[in-house]
Amino acid sequence: MHLQKHINQLAPKWTSIRRDLHRHPEAGWTEYRTSAIIADYLQQLGCYEVHVGPTVCKSSARMGVPSLEELALCEQRAITEGANPRWIEKMVGGYTGVVGVLKTNRPGPTIAMRFDIDCIELTESNSSDHRAFQENFASTHPGLMHGCGHDGHTTIGLGVAEILAHYQTELSGEVRLLFQPAEEGCRGAKAVVEAGWLDQVDQLFCAHLFPNDNFQVAGAIHGFLATTKIDATFHGKASHAGATPELGKNALLAAATATVQLNTIPRHSGGASRINVGTLIAESGRNVIADEATMKLETRGETTEINHYMREQAVNILHASAQMYDVTCNWRLAGEGDHGTSSRDLIPLIGEKVDQIKQKVTFIPEMTIRAGSEDAIYMLNKVQEQGGQAVYMGISGPPPAPTAPHQKNYDFHEDLIAIGVELFSRIALSTE
């Protein structure tokens, strides 16, 4: 078929873009280089309004933004690594993300497609059986890795942009391509929503790549957990651990206590709950009673209520742990995501499009995961509240080696890029 042939011709270019992104992963709110590449790409296609900078995300709704010092280092790095300084300039202060709007000026629905672009904080495997390492596209940023496939998501978004540009005469209404920053930690979607990009949207399509035994598209994924992300800092008082241990206020001991006790929050009979402390840092030196410890944690719940139960318990335990050692604990919300679900009405349409993909791709209408959280849920909820329809799809296929998201050796089958581009494009081209 014509569309598919077109896609197949472009696929090698997209693979090489994906691998370039993979080599330069950027964490939430620091996707400067990534955003600059997206902005360049959209601009060159000629038919898109390209939105970059503070209009993409509402400033006050951004959660978990790094310090200005850290941001400045990342801005510098992006330029060093070839990003167009013209774009970077507009993004200074963590205003990453890009929105491309294609207005057909023909009456029709407004559809939004969302692609998340940030990486996770993990050092990529340098094992010889890890393809990215073998084929030289592993992360060059220590401690950062596209371990959740957002490099794939971003590339799919660019591919969709290119295909829709080519077939724009067949489109009606308006298409908004949302390249969202800071999905990890559920920090960015709310800010995109509050900036207004989901207003008047009739249909929203999101997707995630997954490893699977076969190529498969799931029409609607359910089961994303509500979540809260918390950053906590314990402040105590240093003292020489040999000379006067009784004069110290041990912030590390309070934080370690909190870490253990947080994991004891009772399970909730109303459904799944989660707690995790993923980061704990105290480094006052071996022979000093630690006067500071910082901690990153998250709670989740099968419903927003269960997550609130977890959050309340967690905050109480943070404070009680601090009190136990007469230290203080300050915490702030670093991210939060609600529970939500896909609109079932869109499933038949998606199934129809999957059937048109002349490949070994099978279709399952629905899939429930007891999985992570997704801040796209903010977008789904927003569109559904307006009376629109919104769906979160799964695009899966066999990885080059056994792995799972958020593992050091994560990777995905690169044919998923073409499949994803075709799926989103066909959906956009069929809506009216």
Minimal distance in Å, beta carbon 224 to its own copies? 9
Q: Is the dihedral of CA 210, 119, 82, 99 positive or negative?
A: positive
Q: Which of residues 382-411 bind its own copies (CB under 8 A)?
A: 404-408
> What 3 state SS string does 80-143 have?
HCCCCHHHHHHHCCCCCCEEEEEECCCCCCEEEEEEECCCECCCCCCCCCCHHHHCCCCCCCCC
Per the CB < 8 A criterion, the answer to whether 270 and 305 are in contact is: yes
Q: Which of 330, 230, 223 is nearest to 275 (CA)?
A: 230
Which region among 31-39, 55-63, 88-96, 365-373 touches its own copies (by CB under 8 A)? 365-373
Minimal distance in Å, beta carbon 178 to its own copies? 22
For its own copies, the binding residue among 132, 252, 393, 395 (CB under 8 A) is 252
Minimal distance in Å, beta carbon 278 to its own copies? 4
Minimal distance in Å, beta carbon 118 to its own copies? 12
For its own copies, the binding residue among 290, 349, 361, 376 (CB under 8 A) is 290
For its own copies, the binding residue among 46, 169, 264, 402 (CB under 8 A) is 264
Q: Tell me how far CA of residue 97 lies from CA of 50, 258, 393, in angstroms.
A: 11, 35, 21
For its own copies, the binding residue among 6, 58, 319, 413 (CB under 8 A) is 319
Rg, C-alpha atoms of the chain: 22
Which region among 12-20, 91-99, 126-134, 253-261 touches its own copies (by CB under 8 A)? 253-261
What the block records as the tokens of 432 is 């009216």
Of 71 and 295, nearer to its own copies (C-beta) is 295
Q: Which of 72, 82, 73 is nearest to 24 (CA)?
A: 82
Of 113 and 230, nearer to its own copies (C-beta) is 230
Q: Which of residues 198-237 bind its own copies (CB under 8 A)?
A: 225, 227, 229
Minimal distance in Å, beta carbon 151 to its own copies? 17
Minimal distance in Å, beta carbon 130 to its own copies? 14
Q: Is 416 exposed, middle or buried (0-12, 13-18, 19+ CB in 10 A)?
A: buried
Q: Which of residues 21-60 bind its own copies (CB under 8 A)?
A: none
Q: Which of residues 166-205 bind its own copies (CB under 8 A)?
A: 184-185
Minimal distance in Å, beta carbon 112 to its own copies? 25
Cα separation, 336 vs 330, in Å, equals 18
Query: Scanning the structure block, which residue is given the tokens 């997707």?
Result: 207
Q: End-to-end alpha-carbon separation of the chain, Å?
A: 22
What the block records as the tokens of 114 is 């969302």
Q: Which of residues 128-147 bind its own copies (CB under 8 A)?
A: 143
Minimal distance in Å, beta carbon 109 to its own copies? 33
Of 127 and 276, nearer to its own copies (C-beta) is 276
Is residue 330 near its own copies by the rule CB under 8 A?
no
Label residues 300-321 b or e (16+ Cβ within 10 Å = b): bbbbbebbebbbebbbebbeeb
Q: Which of residues 99-118 bind its own copies (CB under 8 A)?
A: none
Which region among 53-61, 319-327, 354-362, 413-421 touches its own copies (by CB under 8 A)? 319-327
Provide φ and ψ at 159, rounded to 5°. -60, -45
Minimal distance in Å, beta carbon 317 to its own copies? 6
Provide φ and ψ at 38, rounded to 5°. -60, -45
Which region among 2-10, 14-22, 37-45, 267-275 touches its own copies (by CB under 8 A)? 267-275
Minimal distance in Å, beta carbon 284 to its own copies? 5
Cα separation, 221 vs 369, in Å, equals 7
Cα separation, 239 vs 288, in Å, equals 6
Interface mask (CB under 8 A) for its own copies, residues 270-289, using x and -? xxxxxxxxxxxxxxxxxxxx
Cα separation, 209 vs 60, in Å, equals 30
Of 189 and 198, nearer to its own copies (C-beta) is 189
